[in-house]
């Protein structure tokens, strides 16, 4: 007798980090944060969006952000990371996956991000057509240790759970 049909759940982990440089402002999760320094990178350097993209693509078995949007391709220079997130989500959804949830942690010594966390979660949810309650964004410091602790950059860890069959 065949086993009853069960939906598959897959989990992906994403990580991204970028250097902080002058001038700001800072962009995370599509939210502009007044700050004297911003992140630098090939695209708009939105480390939160990039980590979420990697988590989603990883959970779906579709590689990572560099495979989909190589930094050697000029069309991605200065690209809006939320547009990249929308395109990555299209690939994930086209492969038959539905979002379970996303949990992300921004690691930075500054600025304080408490007032911006819910708007970041809302922007991400809006881009992928999810309920905001399925997106969690938190912030932590690195307790003064390493390049993050010295305020040289920002890193983000993200986990995504996808459901499919």
Looking at the whole model, is its pTM more than 0.85? yes
Report which of 86, 161, 71, 93 is spatially closest to residue 127, judged by C-alpha positions.
86
38 close to 25: Cβ distance less than 8 angstroms = yes
Whether 120 contacts 137, CB under 8 Å = yes
Q: Tell me the pairing of strands 135-140 and 26-28.
A: unpaired
Fold of domain 8-164: 60s Ribosomal Protein L30; Chain: A; (3.30.1330)
| pLDDT per residue as tens, the chain (165 positions) | 344 545 699 999 999 999 999 998 899 999 999 999 999 998 999 999 999 999 999 999 999 999 999 888 778 788 899 999 999 999 999 999 999 999 999 999 999 999 999 999 999 999 999 999 999 999 999 999 999 999 999 999 999 999 996
């Amino acid at each position: 007798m065949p086993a009853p049909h069960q939906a598959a759940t897959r989990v992906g982990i994403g990580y991204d980090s970028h250097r902080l440089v002058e001038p700001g402002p800072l962009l995370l999760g599509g939210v502009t944060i007044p700050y004297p320094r911003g992140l630098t990178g090939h695209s708009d350097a939105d480390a939160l969006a990039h980590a979420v993209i990697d988590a989603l693509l990883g959970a779906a078995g579709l590689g990572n952000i560099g495979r989909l949007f190589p930094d050697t391709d000029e069309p991605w220079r200065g690209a809006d990371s939320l547009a990249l997130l929308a395109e990555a989500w299209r690939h994930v959804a086209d492969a038959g996956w539905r979002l379970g949830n996303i949990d992300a942690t921004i690691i930075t010594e500054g600025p304080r991000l408490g007032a911006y966390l819910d708007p970041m979660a809302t922007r991400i949810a809006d881009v992928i057509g999810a309920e905001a309650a399925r997106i969690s964004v938190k912030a932590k410091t690195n307790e003064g240790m390493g390049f993050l602790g010295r305020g040289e950059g920002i890193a983000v860890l993200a986990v995504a759970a996808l459901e499919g069959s």
